[in-house]
Structure formats: structure tokens, C-alpha cells
Chain A
Amino acid sequence: MAKITEKTRNEVREIVFAFFAEECEADKSLINDNTNIIKDLDGDSLMFLELIEIFKKKYNLDIELKTIGKYAIKHPVETIGQLIEMQMLIIEHENRLLELDK
């Protein structure tokens, strides 16, 4: 289980903000934790998948996509803040993510 440091948290935030600013051609300064990914940024599941792949590579994560999908059914992500929190959990728990619900 990886320990989430302040450095990791800041890295994840920076990557998520920069990613959506570029992908959605949005002003990065206007994106915040409450920004709705679909309604405000016109984001989609392919972007979510791409972001997961970025974090899998960066942190060498051992996690199956379907584990994230199953977790997302019970914990749907709508905002940038929720997405960042989910990414933290993925980095921290990897394939044991679903055990959080037990």
C-alpha cells in the first residue's frame, strides 16, 4: 500500500488540472474542485481512461481497469475534486480498492 504524501497529492492535482485544461481546451485557472467534468468541461469516459493510464505509468500501479469500474459504480465521479480523491485511492490501494467497501 503506497503512502500518499503531500508531494503526491500536489502532483496528482497538477496532472489532473493540466490534463483537463488541455483535453477540453479550457482555461486552467477556471478549473477547480467543484468543476463538473461532463457538464462544465464536456469530458468523457475516454478521458477518464486516458488519465488512469497516465497514473498507472507514472506510479507503476498494479490495478485492473475493471476494478476501477466496479468501484466507480458505487462511488460515481462527477467533479474534478471527486476524481482527484479517487485517483489518490487508486494510487494508495491499487487492486485492493474494492476492499474499501467491505
Chain B
Amino acid sequence: MAENDIALVFPAFISDYRDDPSREIPAFRAVFQVFLDKAASFIDKDLLSFDPKSNPMLHDELRNQYLTYIYGCSCARILLSSGIKPGISAGYSMGIYASLFTAGSITFETGLLFIRNAYDAIRKTLPPGQYGMGGVIGLSEKDIMEIVLKHDLNLAIVNRNSDYSFILAGNRVHVNVFLLKAIEEGALHAKSLGVTIPYHTNLLSGAAKDFSRTVFTADVRAPEIPVISVLNQDMICDADRARNEVVNNIHTTFNWLATQLQMHHAGIHTFTECGPSQALRKNSKFISGSGKFVNWDVLVKK
């Protein structure tokens, strides 16, 4: 495997847990526990009650983000310690924080602070329970927009995972109507993402402005590993760009398909998902010629 042809990619949320990685990588448990203890001490003491089997915190939007971040940081720490030198780091949606931490742009604590302050800013500006997000597989963008326009739905496509996989966000009732109509129109799969925040829509512009006060006063440095923007696929090479990416990521649509293709054009041939699920790996199969995914624990053992 060539030097620097590996990209570390970080998911936004945990949807499920694969097998305990400690069975293959014994160091994982200790590294994860160190990060978990730090997070509990710094941001939320209830994180100490986390257990992937009995209390996975999957339905708590904020704690799910904390845990996804902790998990991602743990995987990346072990990968870097084992000598892996990634060419690019990329964060899928709110995976940006783990991506920047791994690149040395922010501290672990700053990442936690960003997660909490973004969440608080959003909660201050949007009433709870009125918004949502959904994923649809098997329809084209044109098919999706026809449904949205035909039923006058207040929704936006906020991400393209592949030519036939999209994420939408907006009014919760409209999301649910869309999902039903999408199945009627031939979608192979249409499901609510189980979040109550319409990430990546302009509904969060006010929250982003509020959040920017945290971001632009925090200690953010130039990434030591190139970080790719999922918003415009540019490389984030300095602190100001990193700050802008963190703020704009809240209320701007992103394009994972274009991001993955751009990474491949930049010489990345191997991707590894720094998280407990395999959603990014599964999705990558529909991006032709974009490289291969290898489980992070497999890379560590090589």
C-alpha cells in the first residue's frame, strides 16, 4: 500500500455497532476509554454510562454525536500510532469534527465544544419536533424533485451519496409524506434518519451565525493532514478555511459523491471508515472507480 494513498473518513452518527473492535485490536478499548473519560469530565458526565449493548445512546442526538466523535478519534489515534500516514481526512456531515481533530487542527476538547455549541445554537433557533431528515435509495434526483414539487413539500436535497442515493431535510411531516410517496414511485428504500434537526439546510442559517462566535474564538490551527471540504471539495489548508468549513457545514448542502471522487482524483485508492457502522463503506460501492474501502482494524494489523 503506497504512502499517503489512504483517506480516513468519519461518519456523522452511529446507526449500529459492528462487533467489538477490541477483539481484533486490543488497544481499542483502552484508547476509547481514555477519550470517553475525557469527554465525560469535560462535557457530559452521563457519557460514562455508555455501553454499546445496554445503553448505546443511539436515539439521543447529542450523545450519539459525542460517541461517534469519540469512536472516530479512537480509531484514528490507533491508525496513526500504527504508522498509517493518511493522505486526506474527510468528515461526512458532522464527521467534520473528528476529521479536524485527526488532522491536528483542533484539540479533542475543542471538537466536543463545537458539537455541543452547534447543537445548543440550533436548539435555540428551531422549535423541537418540527423537522427531520430522510434517506432515499433507488430514485434519481429528477424523480425526487418531481415528488417534492408535485406535493408542494418544504424539503431540500442536502446530500448526494451516489446517483441513486440522496438525503433530504426539512419539515418533519413533509419528510414523512415524501418517504411514503417515494416508495409509491419506486424507491427501493426510503427511511427517516431519526434526527429532529434539518442539518445542511438554510433553516440553520441563524444557528450557524450564533455558532460562529464559538468557532471564531476557538483555537483552530492549519490541518497537518489535508482535510477535504465536503461542501465544495476544496482542500482545507489553513485555520480560517477550517473555521469557515465548520460553520458553513451546519447550514449548507454537501456532496459526498463529489467528495469521494475528488479524493480519488487526488490519488487516494484506499478509504477506511473510522466509525462503528459501515454506512460509508456500503455507499461507496455505487461510486464507480472511486477506490476501495478497507476496515480500519484490518489496516492496523497490516
Q: Which residues of A are interface residues toward B (Cβ below 8 A)? A: 44-50, 53, 64-70, 72-73
Q: Are A73 and B188 in contact (CB under 8 A)?
A: no
Contacts of A47 in B (CB 8 A): 282
Contacts of A46 in B (CB 8 A): 137, 165, 189, 282-283, 285-286
Contacts of A72 in B (CB 8 A): 188
Rounded to whole angstroms, the CA-CA distance of A59 and B187 in the bound complex is 22
**Known contacts A50-B285, A50-B286, A69-B138; A45 and B186 CB within 8 A of each other:** no
Q: Are B186 and A70 in contact (CB under 8 A)?
A: yes
A62 CB → nearest B CB, Å: 16
A4 CB → nearest B CB, Å: 23
Contacts of A48 in B (CB 8 A): 188
A69 CB → nearest B CB, Å: 3
Q: How many inter-chain contacts with C-beta < 8 Å in the A-B complex?
A: 54
Q: Are A66 and B286 in contact (CB under 8 A)?
A: no
Q: Are B139 and A66 in contact (CB under 8 A)?
A: yes
Q: Are B139 and A65 in contact (CB under 8 A)?
A: yes
Rounded to whole angstroms, the CA-CA distance of A67 and B187 in the bound complex is 9
Rounded to whole angstroms, the CA-CA distance of A7 and B286 in the bound complex is 28
Rounded to whole angstroms, the CA-CA distance of A70 and B139 in the bound complex is 11
Q: Are B184 and A65 in contact (CB under 8 A)?
A: no
Other 9 A-B pairs with CB < 8 A, given A45-B138, A49-B138, A49-B189? A44-B189, A46-B282, A46-B283, A65-B139, A66-B185, A66-B187, A68-B138, A69-B186, A73-B184
Contacts of B186 in A (CB 8 A): 64-70, 73
Contacts of A49 in B (CB 8 A): 137-138, 164, 188-189, 286
Contacts of A69 in B (CB 8 A): 138-139, 183, 185-188
B161-209 residues at the A interface, CB under 8 angstroms:
164-165, 183-189
B99-149 residues at the A interface, CB under 8 angstroms:
137-139, 143
Contacts of B183 in A (CB 8 A): 69, 73
A94 CB → nearest B CB, Å: 15
Pairs of residues from A and B, 3 with the lowest C-beta to C-beta distance, nearest first:
A66-B186, A69-B186, A45-B189
Contacts of A73 in B (CB 8 A): 183-184, 186
Rounded to whole angstroms, the CA-CA distance of A67 and B185 in the bound complex is 9
B255 CB → nearest A CB, Å: 19
Contacts of B282 in A (CB 8 A): 44, 46-47
Rounded to whole angstroms, the CA-CA distance of A16 and B187 in the bound complex is 21
